[in-house]
Amino acid sequence: MLHAWLKRGLGDILAALPPAVPSAARSRAEWERWRRGLKLPIGLPAELPPLRLLLVLDNLAGHKTPAFVLWLFAHGVMPVYTPLGGSWLNMSESIQRILKRRAVEGTHPGTPAEIMAAFEEAARHWNADPTPFEWGGKRAARRRRQRQRRHAAGGSGAQARRPIARFKYYGYERDK
């Protein structure tokens, strides 16, 4: 279902792009360079169209199915997958969550056009007076204070939440 919708949308975008005219050797080199960056390289078809579009996708299993990836290749679309542990994803997901809350929470849009209009309006309103984001706000300060309250357990790097009492032997410290 999603792939059919995505393929139709990508087809419309590709149709609106100007025709691609890079040399076959340059196009093959671009595809090969992309392939070298993958942990599990994908076999490229012998006949590759010129590269026309980079498509950024998340790492859902459905975005990596052979049928979908080969369809992308056949249309000159190079899939670029976002990293699993990218810190910038946290920021973008925060912004998406805020926009969603401001745009559609408490409403009942009936069509995708209404949803898109609500998001565009929320983004325009936010851009008029943007909220600054900073890495390491209150949560990072709280975590930093928590780390400072821990106590080292010997020289191992282990830590305890409370001081560890030194072993005493008959009233005398063992070290003496």
| Position 64 in a domain | yes
β-sheet bridge partners, residue 160 = 151
How many angstroms separate the CA atoms of 175 and 152, rounded?
Answer: 18
Helix pair angle (112-128, 87-104), 10° resolution:
110
Question: What stretch of H or E contains 7?
Answer: helix 2-16
28 with 75, same domain: the answer is yes
* Domain count within the chain: 2
Task: Show the DSSP H helices in 52-159 as ranges.
Answer: 66-74, 87-104, 112-128, 138-148
Q: Which two tokens stand for residue 106?
A: 């408490």
pLDDT-derived band at 1 (thresholds 50, 70, 90) equals very low
Question: What stretch of H or E contains 105?
Answer: none
DSSP label of 63: G
- Per-residue pLDDT of 5-54, as tens digits, reads 888 888 888 888 887 766 777 778 888 887 777 777 777 778 788 888 88
Overall size of the chain counted in residues: 176
75 with 8, same domain: the answer is yes
27 with 93, same domain: the answer is no
- Classify 141 as helix, strand or coil: helix
- In the predicted model, is pLDDT for residue 158 greater than 70? yes
- Per-residue pLDDT of 61-82, as tens digits, reads 778 888 888 888 888 888 888 7
54 with 90, same domain: the answer is no
Its domain, for residue 49, covers: 2-81
- In the predicted model, is pLDDT for residue 85 greater than 90? no
Whole-structure pTM value: 0.49
- Classify 17 as helix, strand or coil: coil
51 with 90, same domain: the answer is no
Higher pLDDT, 59 or 176: 59
- Per-residue pLDDT of 97-154, as tens digits, reads 888 898 988 888 888 889 889 999 999 998 898 877 666 778 888 888 887 777 777 6
Q: Tell me what pLDDT residue 87 has.
A: 61
What angle (nearest 5°) sits at the alpha carbon of residue 58, between those of residues 54 and 64? 80
